[in-house]
Each structure stands twice: as C-alpha cells, then as structure tokens.
A and B are shown apart, each in its own frame.
Chain A
Amino acid sequence: MNKLVVKERIARVAMYLSIAAVILLVGSIIWTVFKRGARSLTWEMVSSLPGGGFYIGKSGGFLNAIVGSLYIVLSSTAIGLIISIPVVFFLNVYLKSKSRLAYVARLAFDVLFGIPSIVYGAFAFTLMIYFGLRTSLLGGILVETLLIIPILIRSMDEVAKNFPRDLLEASFSLGATRWETMGVVMRQIAPGIATATLLSVGRSIGDAAGVMFTAGFSDTIPTSLSQQTATLPLSIFFQLSAPQAEVQNRAYAAAVVLTIIVLVISLLGRFITNRFSKHKLR
C-alpha cells in the first residue's frame, strides 16, 4: 500500500479514537450523575430550603445553593465583562502591536489563568481578614470575578487580535468617529465575547474552592451582600461527605441540577453566538 495512504489511515484512526474517548468521557459522567441523581431528584429539592437535619437525611431542598450559585455567577460575569472588555480594547486598539506592556500584561494574564481557584480563595481570604471582612456573598462574587477575568481577557484577546484592520478603515472612511466604529468592532467580536462568557460561566459555576473561604455557607437565601451564601458545588460536597445513602443521592440530584444549568447556559450561548456571527466578516 502507498505510504501516504497508510499515513492518512493512521491519522484518521487516531482522530476517531480521540473523538470517541471524549464522547465516552462526557457520556459516562452524565450517565453516572443522572443515574443516581435523576431518580432522587424531586420538585421539593429544587423549590425549598434545607429543613432541620437536612444533612442527616431529613426533609428539605437546596434552593439556597441554586440561588446562591446563580447570584455569584451572574454578578461576577457581569463585573468581569465590565472590567475585561476595556482591557481588551486597550491591548488591541491603543497599544502598539510590539508594545512591551502588552507583552507583559498577556504573560501575566496567562499566569493568572493557570492559578488554581483554591489559591485565589486563600488569597482573597487573607485580604478579607486584613480588611476585617467576614465571609459573604460579596466576597464570593469578588473572588469569582478575579478568577474569571484572565479567562475573559485572554479568550476575547485572541479574537480581537485577528480583527481585520480593513474593517476599521472602511468605517473611518465613511466618516465614523472612533466611538461609532466601536459598534462595528463589537459586532465583529460579539461571538468571541459570547464564547469567553460561556467559558467563564462554566468555570465559576463549578468552582467550589474559591467560594469555600470567601462566601461561606448558609441554609437561607442571602438578602444582602454581607450575608453568607451557599453554592451548588459546596452543597454537593457537604452532602456527599455525609454517611447516609439518601443524602449522597441528593448530592447527585444537586449535580444533575448543576449540569442542567450549565447545559442550558451553553445552549443559550450557542444560540446567541450563532445569531451574532451570522454577519461576521471572515
């Protein structure tokens, strides 16, 4: 057989194998979670707060954790976007392409990207002690914001770097100001922003270590920023550590809810991205 054909075959088999491995992995995770969780998932669990003795198998639900997680994720993503979009614009529009500052900043963001969330948690915790703050919803939001900013910046940055400069010229030559041209830029990089947002939502909603030190845990839904709040990953963790099987099953039910939330956000994000990227210049 021809040497090239053999190479082609090997490459093809390797690709199929890795795709199969990924699908198998995702499938088995979802299968394990849903097998144990879906059976024990009841409406009561997602609609009520933990009752007395919830963690030793008495009645109640984990609405506190669902709401807490959503509070933290939505606010940290919003704050994160507000902070990182200007940074991306600064890196790509105002700094020269060979700027030292841009190089150092990108390197710093890459390093921050790789820092585990527990380190962020511990760092924020020492800061909070220094300022005399208690664990609170605000603390959780802030540490998650810190966690996702590098993700947001670097993934939007990659998209912005490939921005066609001709597009800027086209807009300027029609007599658009810099500000008006931003509208064109936003349309072009909107899919990138959506992808970055999805990535960071995924990371922050699943993060347990960062919020453990900073948001604390509580059996009620917080009514102010200074109160402690529960989160889904921590709720799963606490229930899984219980010896009783029914409490562990409820942990799986909570995992099902978490998975569904992530799934819904991803699909929604995909949908929005597709709508936006329809007009994108490639």
Chain B
Amino acid sequence: MRKLILRKIFANDSNEPFVPDAKFKHPDVAPELTVDHFNLSIEGSPILKDVSVTIPANKITCIVGPSGCGKSTLLKSLNRLSDTIEGVRTSGDIRIGDKSIVNCSASDLVELRRRIGLVPQRPTPLPMSIFGNIAYGCKIHGVSSRRELRKIVRHYLKVVGLWDEVKDRLTSPATKLSIGQQQRLCLARSLAVEPEFILADEATSALDPVSSKIVEDLFVKLKEQYSIVMVTHTLRQALRIADYVIFIYMGEVIEVGDAQQVFKNPKHELTQKYLSGTIS
C-alpha cells in the first residue's frame, strides 16, 4: 500500500530542474585541500611522516602506494575519521580552503564532514530503507519537508543511475540491493548532502567488474562538480581515470604531480620501481 502511494507521489512530481537546498550550496570557487606538514602516529608508531600535498579542485586525485603505506590513513585524516582510531596522535594541519580541519570545534567538524563525503571500501548501507538512506544525511542537516526529500532522493538516485532499478521499491531495505547497487547507493547518499570533496577508499575493490566500471565512469562524470580523492590498489584504474597522483611509500610522500607526468616520466627512483612492479 505504502509502495503504491509512494509511486503515485513520485509520478506526480514535475520534471523541473533540481536545485540543491540553499544550505548545501557550493562556494563560488571550489576549494583545494591542503595538507601541511601533517604527521600521524598510532600508539607511538608513525604512520604518516611530514606529509605536505595540495589536492586540486575538480580533479580526480589518486593516492597510490604499496599496501600498509598509509594511503587509507591519509584519506581518513582528510575528514578526521582518523579520530576513531585508538591511540592516534597528529600534528601539522589540513585545510579545506582556508579552514583548518585538524583544529576545529566539534560543531565545525560536523559541517566540515558534510563538505567532505566518503565512499567506503565495502558498501555500508545504513539500517534503513533505500529512501531512508539517502534522506538521512539531509534530515540531520535540517531538511525536513517530505516533498523536498522526495525530490532529493529521486535526483541523486538518477545521478548514480540507480533510479530505474529501484524506483518501485524505495521502501524496501537497502541491504536487499546487490553489492554493486549498494555501493552506488552509498555514493548517492554522500552526494545528497552536496559535499565539495568525495573521498573514495578503494571504492571499487569489493565490486564485480561491471559495477566497478559503472562507479569509475560515475567518478569521471562527477569531477565536473566535485573534487574526488581516491585510494586505489589497482594501478590500471589510476592510469585510466587519475588527473593527479600522490605516491606514498612508508608513510612519506615520494612524488606528487599530474598523472601524465608521474606515470610517464616518474622522477623518483621509488616511483619508477613501484610502477614497474619491483615494489608492491
């Protein structure tokens, strides 16, 4: 019954162009993320050592490096999810535009995390319906009108190409979707609060090749409006879609630059070794 009503309501929505809520408006100039002499240690052992990089706006930045080199930790530091790791200590600064992420109040942090979305390694739908998953972020940021929420859900499901697949079962549990669909749902959920940056932690590693391709293509499409930072294990993927590359080895940034330059003419010996597969 609820499903029927929902379908009817959605059918009645006109096709007017979607405008995000005023709260979620992007700044006129897309900001850069600046990591400034950032150190991070977990229970005394250093994980990131004096990392200084600038992540450009509206590009796909790939963080590459051998496993255990601190890629994911760096990514998590960017929206301070690293706080949840036990025994973590940091120094240095990370800024979005000119706002510090490392030294900010709890209430600022909430807003900063909204501006920096995350697509996890394994898809983690919230324990809610498909509709609820996408509406959740908007609800906690104060969008309460049902009509508005419906528009948002429809728009972002369309953005990730999920709308036609799920429009008839928006009230069913998100966990019933396939893994590939769940991952796109997670992406739609992040997009729904209009972040400026999207962090992807090996977002395609748990997916089948087809879903993986869909998500990859989405990232390429999305970089017009969002700045994307992704950690990846697959060099090929980085070669395909990266605009900018950060190579990390043992917690240190070895080489940073345009993808073309880093992949074609790596300056550093370690980068050459990594690209040729000598270290992995």
Taking Cβ atoms with an 8 Å cutoff, the residues of A that contact B are: 96-97, 164-177, 180, 184, 187-188, 278-282
Q: Known contacts A170-B186, A279-B173; is A180 also within 8 Å of B126 by CB?
A: no
The answer to whether B193 touches A174 (Cβ under 8 A) is yes
B84 near A: Cβ within 8 Å?
yes
A164–B120 Cα distance when bound, in Å, is 13
Contacts of B127 in A (CB 8 A): 167, 184, 187-188, 279-281
Contacts of B118 in A (CB 8 A): 169-170, 173
Task: Write out, one digit per residue, whether chain B residues 74-94 have a CB within 8 A of any chain A CB (1) or not (0).
Answer: 000001010010100000000
B55-114 contacts to A, CB under 8 A, are 79, 81, 84, 86, 106, 110-114
The answer to whether A175 touches B140 (Cβ under 8 A) is yes
Q: Output the residue of A97, A165, A170, A281 with the most chain B CB within 10 A.
A: A170
On chain B, which size bracket covers the interface?
Answer: 20 to 34
Q: How far is the CB of A96 from chain B (nearest CB, A)?
A: 6
A165–B114 Cα distance when bound, in Å, is 19
Taking Cβ atoms with an 8 Å cutoff, the residues of B that contact A are: 79, 81, 84, 86, 106, 110-114, 116-118, 120, 122, 124-129, 132, 136-137, 140-141, 173-175, 186, 189-190, 193, 199
A165 contact from B84, B132, B140, Cβ within 8 A: B84
A171 contact from B79, B111, B116, B126, Cβ within 8 A: B126
The answer to whether A167 touches B126 (Cβ under 8 A) is yes
A180–B114 Cα distance when bound, in Å, is 14
The answer to whether A164 touches B81 (Cβ under 8 A) is no
Q: How far is the CB of B156 from chain A (nearest CB, A)?
A: 13
Q: How far is the CB of A179 from chain B (nearest CB, A)?
A: 10
Q: How far is the CB of A183 from chain B (nearest CB, A)?
A: 9
Q: How far is the CB of B52 from chain A (nearest CB, A)?
A: 24
| Complex: chain A residue closest to B86, CB-CB | A96
The answer to whether B173 touches A175 (Cβ under 8 A) is no
| Complex: chain B residue closest to A180, CB-CB | B140
Contacts of B117 in A (CB 8 A): 173-174
A278–B111 Cα distance when bound, in Å, is 31
The answer to whether B111 touches A281 (Cβ under 8 A) is no
A166–B199 Cα distance when bound, in Å, is 14
Q: How far is the CB of A176 from chain B (nearest CB, A)?
A: 5
A1–B260 Cα distance when bound, in Å, is 66
A169–B81 Cα distance when bound, in Å, is 7
Q: A172-B113, A180-B140 are in contact. List 10 more A-B contacts (CB 8 A).
A: A166-B124, A167-B126, A169-B84, A170-B126, A170-B186, A173-B79, A173-B113, A184-B126, A279-B175, A281-B127
Q: How far is the CB of A34 from chain B (nearest CB, A)?
A: 38
Q: Output the residue of B106, B137, B140, B173 with the most chain A CB within 10 A.
A: B140
Contacts of A280 in B (CB 8 A): 127, 175
A171–B112 Cα distance when bound, in Å, is 14
The 9 closest A-B pairs by CB, nearest first: A175-B114, A173-B118, A174-B137, A166-B124, A279-B127, A187-B127, A175-B113, A279-B173, A170-B124
| Complex: chain B residue closest to A165, CB-CB | B84
Contacts of B122 in A (CB 8 A): 166
Contacts of A164 in B (CB 8 A): 124
The answer to whether A279 touches B174 (Cβ under 8 A) is yes
A278 contact from B84, B110, B173, Cβ within 8 A: B173
The answer to whether B137 touches A175 (Cβ under 8 A) is yes
| Complex: chain A residue closest to B121, CB-CB | A166
| Complex: chain A residue closest to B125, CB-CB | A281
A165–B190 Cα distance when bound, in Å, is 18
